[in-house]
Amino acid sequence: MLPVCAQVEFRQSADQIEISIDGKPFSTLHFGEEAPKPYLSPLRSASGIIVTRLFPMEKVEGETRDHPHHRGLWFTHGDVNQIDFWANEPGGKGRKGKVKLEKIHSVKGGKKEGSIRASFLWLDDAGQPLVRELRTMTFYSDPSLRVLDFDATLTAVKRAVFGDTKEGFFAIRLRDAMKERGGTGRMINAEGKSGMREVWGKASPWVDYSGTLDGEKLGVAIFDHPQSFRHPTYWHARDYGLFAANAFGLHDFFHDKTRDGSHALEPGQSIRFIYRVLIHPGDTESAGIAARFAEFAKKKFR
């Protein structure tokens, strides 16, 4: 009897973990010393189409080269104790932090799903830990979808204030052809509002960003789980391809300096964020995004 092959498989090396689903590459988790923060890149659809921009990791002819800190899919914030973990590429101005791997706790493949559990340290500009991040990423086998559940708990090592800024937080940089501005893309949120003017800065449990890539209609949705801090999250989603959930940037989102979206953690205190990324064929309606979110929202995370 032949052994059953894992449908979600991982290949680990010193500074990255490659993720394959149903025998096809999906993404790679990068966490080497050259990376200012861990990131997944590239992300692919079930049909194999890359949906994220390759810059700055690769320079592709004709691809935009703005915002070099936009690395595939990443999870950082622009102001923690006034230190920037968002636009933290080496050589930039201001106080820059770094998110460094502390430990890979487990890497488990499986027939229907597989997971990576790891801890990271958010280091200040003196190299001292401010925050410990415990992250579990779960990947699922599916013939037409690519699904990632991202569950991260941030615990203060010393007093950590997550400042009110739009520069954050759980983010994806999509390919240029997927942009709203000059591309084929369109954002729609759970309330049925569409386009950056109606989506940016608004609270919503999910947003779907869909367009046409390489002749195929595709979408990328981010779901914010009800167990997440400050659910439903706000959205720093731009028409040039940035797609980010951000629970902190209230004075920017409301254009009101009297609002304060900051949040302080005393040593040992934690906040938790749970997201799902769904890469799907078709548009928001044909992919049944609302029903898929409702199913996700019922899931209980321990």
CATH assignment of the domain containing 126: 2.70.98
> What pLDDT is attached to residue 108?
98
Query: Sign (positive/negative) of CA torsion 239, 242, 245, 246?
Result: negative
Is the pLDDT assigned to residue 6 strictly greater than 80?
A: no
Higher pLDDT, 91 or 38: 38
| pLDDT grade for 74, boundaries at 50, 70 and 90 | very high
Q: Is residue 3 part of a domain?
A: no
- pTM for the whole thing? 0.96
Question: Which letter does DSSP use for residue 259 in this model?
Answer: -
The residue-averaged pLDDT of 129-147 equals: 98
Q: Is residue 27 part of a domain?
A: yes
Q: Is residue 162 part of a domain?
A: yes
Q: Which helix (H) or strand (E) holds 131?
A: strand 129-140
| pLDDT grade for 92, boundaries at 50, 70 and 90 | confident
Number of domains the chain contains = 1
Q: Which residue stretches of the chain are H helix?
A: 196-199, 250-253, 289-297
Q: Is residue 39 part of a domain?
A: yes
Residues comprising the chain, all counted: 302
CA distance 199 to 186: 10
Q: Is residue 157 part of a domain?
A: yes
Q: Is residue 252 part of a domain?
A: yes
The residue-averaged pLDDT of 79-85 equals: 98
State the DSSP string of 3-26: PPPPSEEEEE-SSEEEEEETTEEE
The residue segments making up the domain with residue 27 are 8-297
Provide the 3-class DSSP secondary structure of residue 292: helix
Burial of residue 93 (CB within 10 Å: 0-12, 13-18, 19+) is exposed
The residue-averaged pLDDT of 166-179 equals: 98
Omega before residue 42 within 30° of 0, cis:
yes
Contact present, 232 and 207 (Cβ < 8 Å):
no
CA distance 121 to 37: 10
Contact present, 219 and 285 (Cβ < 8 Å):
no
> What pLDDT is attached to residue 89?
95
Q: Is residue 60 part of a domain?
A: yes
The residue-averaged pLDDT of 198-209 equals: 98
Contact present, 52 and 73 (Cβ < 8 Å):
yes
The two tokens of residue 238 are: 């731009």
The residue-averaged pLDDT of 4-10 equals: 79
| pLDDT grade for 3, boundaries at 50, 70 and 90 | very low
The residue-averaged pLDDT of 84-103 equals: 95
The residue-averaged pLDDT of 244-252 equals: 97
Number of H helices and E strands in the chain, helices first, is 3, 18
The two tokens of residue 178 are: 């997927």
The residue-averaged pLDDT of 91-120 equals: 96
Q: Is residue 198 part of a domain?
A: yes
> What pLDDT is attached to residue 1?
36
**SS percent in the chain: helix, strand, coil, step 5:** 5, 45, 50
> What pLDDT is attached to residue 214?
97
